[in-house]
Structure formats: structure tokens, C-alpha cells
Structure 1
Amino acid sequence: MTILVTGGAGFIGSNFVREWIGSGRGRVVVLDRLTYAANPANLEGVIASGLCVLVRGDIADQACVASLLQKYQPEAIVHFAAESHVDRSIHGPDDFIQTNIVGTYRLLEAVRGYWSALPSSVQAAFRFLHVSTDEVYGSLAVDAPPSTELATYAPNSPYAASKAASDHLVRAWRETYGLPVLTTNCSNNYGPFQHPEKLMPLMILNALARKPLPVYGDGQNIRDWLYVGDHCEAIRRVLAQGRPGETYNIGGDSEQTNLDVVRQICAVLDELSPRADGRSYAEQITFVADRPGHDRRYAIDARKVREELGWAPAQAFSSGLRKTVGWYLEHPEWVSQVVNGEYRRWSDQQYGAGAGS
């Protein structure tokens, strides 16, 4: 089986590609613009296997996508490509509109043209899986029930709004043109190969560098945490067994406040890589001004994917966190490649000089 994976050199995409090829499921064509958050090193090994082809290109380049589809004849598309950092969307929303909305539209159009020309038997088996986020549902009260697939969309950041728009486009291409689409909305992912602008790797790397651990506001914002390997397995289940036109929420069933996450990271680091002075990394926690429109809580109701497809997360938060901290400790070369001058400038701007540089 050949599949096309957009954004396959990024965090979740590269984990998915590695696990897909490692399990012998077939060949992967990766289309990635290789922006700051993507890294060809994330695919090291799988490209050498000959089962992964990496093409540098933009999903908004309809001609490029159409050419790849004709050349490789994929049987499915898994669409990860997106601008995904909320803080960046607040400071510069244009990239999010262009990639997440315009890019998804042009990708859908290229795929529709390709799919429409397939033999009917091949058309029926073809799938377009769109990977989205729980942020489209907006902020929940602390005592509110988790969001189901039928929850009203209420995005509060430019990032969330752009992903909500892309979700609607995918749905419309199913209803209007019959394209066999699937949508997944996931909670906060964590694990190997995540860019250091995101909470967990930022805290791990800042702690090791003896820098402040910047926590927004009072640190009581709540997220549901999902280990990336569990997310990839859920996506495979949806791709193989999901009903076209359906949406599946994928959550880790592990709600944590941001402050608790940081404290647990510090506790694991205290054990695995203790400070030379014997003090806890938790002493480096620093509260910084909250970001605009910071949603208080996200929570996912994942009963549908559990009941229909038999998926459940294999990692508890404690085990997934330990695996994640261990991976960053064991891969300093990857970290040094990623933490370049551009990232340091962004981190200084966002958190203050020295906080995340």
C-alpha cells in the first residue's frame, strides 16, 4: 500500500511515518515544506530503507500535489501539514490562514481531481484522513463534560479558527463531491521529535540548561495529554476501519494542569539527570504574563473511537512522560540541530531573553 503523508517531517507526521513503515504496512510519500518545525532528520533511517520518499513542496501548490498523485498513485492521504503553534498564530496569523485554510483547500482540490479519475473499485477504497485538534471546540469550564464529536465549534485563537475552517472544508468536500474523507480531532500530543517551542520539550531543555521554566498565568490551564505513539495507532485504526464522512475524537484520558505537567517533568529529571547542586529543577519554574485568549481547559470525549474501532491509549501519562524525557536526554544531537538561531530569537521574543533561548 502506498500512502501520501503531508507534513510527514514534522512531529506527529514523522512518528506516524516511522511506525507505518516499521510495521510493514507499505510505502510512504512525504510532502513537506520543511519549515522551521519540520526536520528531515526526523525521518532518518526510514528514507534509507527505500520505503519513504521525501518531497519538499507546499500543499498549497496544487500542480505539485497533482503531479505527486499521478506519479505515485497513493491509495490514501493522511493530512498532517499545518501551522500549529498558538503563540505564533497570535503574533502572525497570515501563515496559519495560508497553510491551514488555503493549503487544505488546494490539497482537497488536487485530491478530488485524482480521485475522480480512479476506477470505481479503487475510488471506493480510497481515503483522505484530515488530522485536526480539540482546540476547534473552544474552552471548557472546569466542571463541563468533555467535548464530543457533536460539540459546537468555538475556536478562540487564529490557529484554532484556521483548523476549524479546514475541518469544515473537508466535510464540505465529502457532502458536495463525495470524497471519502475522515477527520480526527486530537488532544495535546507529546513524545519524541517535538519542536522545542512546545511545552514539554521547552521545559525539558530549559531545565537542563538551568534556564527559567516559563509558565503562563497561574499555570492552572488544563489540557488532555496524548502520547504521540498512541495517537498514531488511533489514526491507523481510523484509516483502516473508520466510516467515510465521520469525525473521531482522539484523547489520552489524562487531564493535567500546565503547572502539574511542569512539576512532573522536573521530578523525572531530578531522577534521571539530577542537578549537580542536588536541588530540584522545580526551583526554576517562573510564572510569566498570560497569553491573549488563553483557553482555560480542553477535554476530549473519545468514546466513539474506543467503541467503534477498539482503540484505547496504551500509555499512562506517567509512563509516556518518562519515555519522552528519556528520549530528549538520549538525543542531544537532534536537539542541537533543531535549536538554531531562528528558534532562539522566537523564544526570546515570546518569553523574554534567556527564558527559552
Structure 2
Amino acid sequence: MSIEETSQAFEELGVGADNYISRRNQRLLSNHKKELRTFTRSEAIAYLDLDGRTLDKYALSAGIDPRRHEDAKWLIDIEEMYIIRSLLPSETRKEAPFQRSKDQKLQVITVQNQKGGVGKTVSVATIGSCLATEFHQEYRVGIIDMDGQATLSMYYAPESDSLEHLSAGDLITKEFDLDEGETFKDAVSKSFLQTTIPNLRILPASQSDRALEGWFHKKTFNGDLSSPYSLLNDVIKEVEDEFDIILIDTPPSLGYATFNSYFAATSIVFPLTTTENDVDATCSYFSYIREVWQLLLDAEHDGYDFMKIMLTNHKDSATATELMSRLSTNFSQFLYSKEFKHSEAVRQSSALMSTVFDMSKSEYPKTKSTFAAAQTNAYEVTSQLLRDIQKVWRNPSKEY
């Protein structure tokens, strides 16, 4: 092909991709408008650990009528659930609301692996929604989509590309105009969008964020960026008092977006699927990661509180067992003992751009026991991470 024909071919590829993405987004929005998670009476009793009479009493005092629905005998949504929980006396609640003290720093967890297909996005979405909903401390959770593919954003902000919302890339480049009287801090705060979970917010990516790497290269080459790795950290600092935990989803590459995610993090989680190819590729990455750390150290990173390997999409088999044994031998101090198990419920939920904590068991269209097992497994995996976070908060002056 000539230069002109090659240019035309790339243009046609781009147009085709834009059309596909637009139609996909429209299909997702029209076929599955994401609704608030709901609770039946038995689910609400289990969630709050109350008896039925007490539950009805506090629903009444909140002015909530769970029996108002024509198609359900008793139903409340997650916002109503949180209202009822807020009315409970401290001795009745499962946990008191968490209040992060000044010496308990915001926990920023970057989820990263240069190997693609290991479950970074599903892990961030699942852990984020689990931390927000299943732990009654009411942690203020944020998730950041640093991947220009914007898959995580489809879970909680599918309309963000079509509406005038600032993306993670927009805030990093600052190539936007502030409204009259608006500060950069205001813009950052507004860009963390509300989701269908009241205490979970997302800073979405947009398709235009794919150009972020080129922007970094150009600015760095021209000498316009004195500290190219710290720009995401600067964004997060503007809202550090609005969150307790932030999770960052990263692209499967080692570019400026990933280095910014590494630099902003207080801790790192490496997702890893137990297949021979994924383990080999990840070990090759780990062999090089000392060079990554040296660059972060040169940029004056303070060091991490913890680094862990989290196994994902695990299927029981002789091969997987052997791989886990090898991983345990070489990475025992890093390896979480509980793994995300391969689950049809997780796959079905992801197809609807949801997690198993975005819907109730009664809403799940297939086998309820499979859904319940997936929730239990995800809760166990998330609990491991939360224990590490709580350990840091209990010992804020200790170096890990």
C-alpha cells in the first residue's frame, strides 16, 4: 500500500472502531439500565443481622414502605438500606462507621500486571463494590480507571464518554477550562462520579485517554514535565479527605499511565491467573520490576505499605495445584491464601457490567447457590486485602 492508502486504511479502522464502541455502549445502556441493588425481607434481615420486627420498625421510622411494590411483597433498595442502617443504635449495628484519623493515611491500592487477561478490571470492580457494601464500617471507596480501554468505566459510568464528564486523563493533562469560580480541587471532586452504590465513586476513563501516552512522551521530550510520574498522585491529593480507600485499575503495559499509578499507590496488588503462560509472563515481569522500582525511587517514592499477589479466575486442576505450589515456594510472603475462583456467576454479572455485589441473589437470573458461592468467595478474598489495610491503619507510624 502507498502512504495515502495506508493512512486511509488506518482511518477506516478508526471509524469502524468508533462505530462499534458507540453501538456497544448504546446496546448496553438500552438492554441493561443499571438499577440500584435491592433486598428482599430475608436478605435485609441477613444483611443487617436483625429480626423482622426490628427491621420493620426502623423502616417505618425512616418513612420507607417496603410493601409499596406491585411486583414484590417486600423490597428495599441499597440507598434505603443505608438509611435504615444509619438509624440503628450503635449496639445494634454490625460495625460502627469508620472515621479515618489524621494519622491514618488514605490507602491507594494499585492493581497491576503487565500481562493482560489476568483479571485486573474485574478484581478492582469486585473488590471496590465488596468493600463498599459488605463491610458495615461504610468505607468511602473510590475506583480510578487508568486504562484507556475504559472497561472499568462501563461498570459504573457507561455514559461518561457521551456526556461532559472529565476523565482521569483530562485531570492529569489539565487540558480543560474551569467554570467561573471553580478550582481544580472542585473539578477533581466532581469528576469522581456517584455510582449505584452510595459510598462508591468512580473516576472514569474515556476513549480519548488512549492518547495519554503520546501526551506524556511529547511533554517529557519537550521538557515541560519536571515530574512525569507524579501527576495522578497530584490529582488524588485533591480528594484525599473524601475517601478512605482508592483502587486503581491499570493498563496491561508499562507506560506513563502505569508509572503514575505505581507512584500514587501506597500498596500494590498483582492479580495473577494460575495458568502456565500467565505465571511465566508474570515472573518475567517480576524479574524486571526492580528496574521499575529504581525509576520510582529516583522520582522520590516513599515506599509501599505492602505488596501482594492475588490469584484470579482459579480453576481446580492438577496443573493449577502444581502451579500454586511453585508460587507458594517462591512467593510465599507475597501470596494471598484465598483466590478468586472461576465462577459462572461472576462471568454472568460481568456480561451485565455488574459485580456480584451490585445485585441481590433474588435478582440473579441463574442458579442462586452459584451466586451465593461467588459472593462468599469474593468476600473472603477482599477480607484479606482489608486486613492488610487495617493493619496499616492500626500502626500508622510503622514501616512495612
Q: TM-score range by the shorter chain?
A: 0.3 to 0.5
TM superposition score normalised by structure 2? 0.34
**Structure showing greater relative contact order (alpha-carbon pairs closer than 8 Å, 6 or more residues apart):** 2
Q: Report which of the two has the higher share of strand.
A: 1
TM superposition score normalised by structure 1? 0.37
